Structure 1
Amino acid sequence: MLQELTIRNFAIIDELNLSFDKGLTTITGETGAGKSIIIDAIHLLVGGRGSVEFIRHGEKKAEIEGLFTIQSNEHPCIERAREFGIEIEEGMMVLHRNISTNGKNVCRINGKLVTISVLREIGSTLVDIHGQHEHQELMNESLHLHLLDQYGKADIEKAIANYSEVYKNYEQTLSRLKKLSENEQQMAHRLDLIQFQLKEIHNADLRLNEDEELLDEKRKLMNFERLFDALKTSFDALQGEQRGLDWVSLLMSQMETAAELNKEYEPMLEAVSNCFYTLEDITRNLSDELDKLEFQPDRLNDIESRLNEINQLKRKYGQSIQGILEYGARIEEEIETITNRESHIQKLQKSLSTMQKDLFLEGKQLSDLRHIWAKRLTEAISNELKQLYMDKTIFEVRFHQSAENFLDMQDIPFRKDGLDIIEFYISTNPGEPLKPLAKVASGGELSRMMLALKTIFSKHQGITSIIFDEVDTGVSGRVAQAIAEKIHQISTNSQVFCISHLPQVAAMADTHLFIRKEMADGRTRTSVKLLSHDEKITEIGRMISGVEITDVTKEHAKELIELAYATKATN
Structure 2
Amino acid sequence: MLMELSIRNFAIIDKITISFDEGLTVLTGETGAGKSIIIDAIGQLIGGRGSVDFVRHGSKRAEIEGLFSIDNGHEIHQLFTDLGIETDEDETVILRREITNQGKSICRVNGKLVTLAILRQIGQTLVDIHGQHEHQQLLQSDKHILLLDRFAGEILERAKAEYRKLFDNYSRKRDQLAQLTENAQEMIQRLDLIQYQFKEIEEAKLQPDEDVSLLEEKKRLDHSEELYRTVHGAYDSLYGDGKGLEWTMAAMNQIEEAAAIDEKLQPLKETIMNSYYLLEESAFSLRDYYEGIEFDPERLNEIESRLSEINQLKRKYGESVNDILEHAAMLEEEIDTLNNRDERLQQWELELESIARDLLVEGRNLTELRQKEAENLKKEIQKQLKNLYMKDTEFKVEFLEKDVQLHGLLNLKKRPPATKDGMDEAVFMVATNKGEPLKPLAKVASGGEISRMILALKTILSTHEGVTSLIFDEVDTGVSGRVAQAIAEKIHQISFGSQVLCITHLPQVAAMADTHLFISKEVHNERMVTSVKPLVKEERVEEISRMISGAEITDLTRKHAGELLTQAQQKG
TM-score category (smaller protein): 0.7 to 0.9
Query: Distance between the aligned counterparts of 2:83 and 2:70, measured in 1?
Result: 18
- Tell me, what secondary structure is at the counterpart of 1:26? strand
Query: Distance between the aligned counterparts of 1:393 and 1:271, measured in 2?
Result: 93
- CA distance 1:191–1:507, change in 2 (3 Å): same
1:489 equivalenced with 2:486 (yes/no): no
Specify the alignment match of 1:202 in structure 2.
Answer: 202
In structure 1, runs of 5+ residues without a counterpart are none
Shift of 1:536: 1.9
Specify the alignment match of 1:310 in structure 2.
Answer: 310
Q: Answer yes or no: is the 8 Å Cα contact 1:132–1:443 preserved in 2.
A: no
Q: Answer yes or no: is the 8 Å Cα contact 1:156–1:366 preserved in 2.
A: yes
Query: Distance between the aligned counterparts of 1:70 and 1:53, measured in 2?
Result: 32
- CA distance 1:347–1:49, change in 2 (3 Å): closer
Query: Distance between the aligned counterparts of 1:280 and 1:404, measured in 2?
Result: 80
Q: Answer yes or no: is the 8 Å Cα contact 1:9–1:59 preserved in 2.
A: yes
Superposed, 1:358-397 pairs within 5 Å as 358-397=358-397
Q: For residue 207 of structure 1, what is the amino acid of its counterpart?
A: Q
Specify the alignment match of 2:477 in structure 1.
Answer: 473
Between the two proteins, the alignment pairs up a number of residues equal to 557
Shift of 1:26: 0.7
Moved more, 386-395 or 18-27: 386-395
Specify the alignment match of 1:69 in structure 2.
Answer: 69
Query: Distance between the aligned counterparts of 2:303 and 2:527, measured in 1?
Result: 78
Moved more, 298-307 or 281-290: 281-290
Superposed, 1:318-467 pairs within 5 Å as 318-401=318-401, 413-428=417-432, 434-438=438-442, 442-467=446-471
Q: For residue 424 of structure 2, what is the amino acid of its counterpart?
A: D
Q: For residue 489 of structure 1, what is the amino acid of its counterpart?
A: Q
Specify the alignment match of 1:533 in structure 2.
Answer: 537
Q: Answer yes or no: is the 8 Å Cα contact 2:236–2:243 preserved in 1.
A: no
1:3 equivalenced with 2:3 (yes/no): yes
Q: Answer yes or no: is the 8 Å Cα contact 1:132–1:447 preserved in 2.
A: no
Q: Answer yes or no: is the 8 Å Cα contact 2:135–2:450 preserved in 1.
A: no
User: Alpha-carbon deviations, 1:274-305, whole Å to 9, x = none?
Assistant: 99999998888777666655532222211101
- CA distance 1:440–1:25, change in 2 (3 Å): farther
Specify the alignment match of 2:513 in structure 1.
Answer: 509
Specify the alignment match of 1:99 in structure 2.
Answer: 99
Q: For residue 163 of structure 1, what is the amino acid of its counterpart?
A: Y
Specify the alignment match of 2:122 in structure 1.
Answer: 122
Specify the alignment match of 2:504 in structure 1.
Answer: 500
Shift of 1:133: 4.6
1:244 equivalenced with 2:241 (yes/no): yes
1:187 equivalenced with 2:191 (yes/no): no
Query: Distance between the aligned counterparts of 1:450 and 1:221, measured in 2?
Result: 77
Specify the alignment match of 2:547 in structure 1.
Answer: 543
Moved more, 434-443 or 311-320: 434-443
Moved more, 479-488 or 127-136: 127-136
Query: Distance between the aligned counterparts of 2:53 and 2:218, measured in 1?
Result: 65
Superposed, 1:3-82 pairs within 5 Å as 3-71=3-71, 73-75=73-75, 77=76
User: Alpha-carbon deviations, 1:339-398, whole Å to 9, x = none?
Assistant: 222222222222222222222222212211211211221222122222222234333312
Between the two proteins, what is the percent identity of the paired residues? 54
Specify the alignment match of 1:156 in structure 2.
Answer: 156
- CA distance 1:337–1:551, change in 2 (3 Å): same
Query: Distance between the aligned counterparts of 2:273 and 2:487, measured in 1?
Result: 101
Query: Distance between the aligned counterparts of 1:463 and 1:528, measured in 2?
Result: 25
Q: Answer yes or no: is the 8 Å Cα contact 1:107–1:115 preserved in 2.
A: yes
Query: Distance between the aligned counterparts of 2:127 and 2:394, measured in 1?
Result: 29
- Tell me, what secondary structure is at the counterpart of 2:41? helix
1:217 equivalenced with 2:222 (yes/no): no
Query: Distance between the aligned counterparts of 2:390 and 2:18, measured in 1?
Result: 37
Moved more, 508-517 or 558-567: 558-567
Query: Distance between the aligned counterparts of 1:99 and 1:4, measured in 2?
Result: 20
Q: Answer yes or no: is the 8 Å Cα contact 2:6–2:15 preserved in 1.
A: yes
Shift of 1:141: 2.9
Query: Distance between the aligned counterparts of 2:146 and 2:499, measured in 1?
Result: 22
Q: For residue 27 of structure 2, what is the amino acid of its counterpart?
A: I
Q: Answer yes or no: is the 8 Å Cα contact 1:337–1:344 preserved in 2.
A: yes
Q: Answer yes or no: is the 8 Å Cα contact 1:245–1:280 preserved in 2.
A: no
Specify the alignment match of 2:565 in structure 1.
Answer: 561
- CA distance 1:123–1:289, change in 2 (3 Å): closer
Query: Distance between the aligned counterparts of 2:278 and 2:311, measured in 1?
Result: 43
In structure 2, runs of 5+ residues without a counterpart are none
User: Alpha-carbon deviations, 1:146-200, whole Å to 9, x = none?
Assistant: 2212212254233323323333333333233333333333333333333333323
Q: Answer yes or no: is the 8 Å Cα contact 1:440–1:446 preserved in 2.
A: no
- Pair member with larger Rg: 1
- CA distance 1:211–1:356, change in 2 (3 Å): closer
Query: Distance between the aligned counterparts of 1:236 and 1:477, measured in 2?
Result: 103
Shift of 1:137: 5.0
Query: Distance between the aligned counterparts of 2:451 and 2:247, measured in 1?
Result: 107
Q: Answer yes or no: is the 8 Å Cα contact 1:360–1:403 preserved in 2.
A: no
Shift of 1:306: 0.8
Query: Distance between the aligned counterparts of 2:77 and 2:427, measured in 1?
Result: 29
Q: Answer yes or no: is the 8 Å Cα contact 1:167–1:359 preserved in 2.
A: yes
Q: Answer yes or no: is the 8 Å Cα contact 2:545–2:558 preserved in 1.
A: yes
Shift of 1:454: 2.2
Query: Distance between the aligned counterparts of 2:407 and 2:469, measured in 1?
Result: 45
Q: Answer yes or no: is the 8 Å Cα contact 1:245–1:279 preserved in 2.
A: no
Superposed, 1:281-320 pairs within 5 Å as 292-320=292-320
Query: Distance between the aligned counterparts of 1:78 and 1:247, measured in 2?
Result: 59
- Tell me, what secondary structure is at the counterpart of 2:400? strand
Query: Distance between the aligned counterparts of 2:247 and 2:118, measured in 1?
Result: 79
Q: For residue 241 of structure 2, what is the amino acid of its counterpart?
A: G
Q: For residue 497 of structure 2, what is the amino acid of its counterpart?
A: N
Query: Distance between the aligned counterparts of 1:363 and 1:201, measured in 2?
Result: 45
User: Alpha-carbon deviations, 1:308-354, whole Å to 9, x = none?
Assistant: 12222233333322222233233323332332222222222222222
Query: Distance between the aligned counterparts of 2:227 and 2:186, measured in 1?
Result: 57
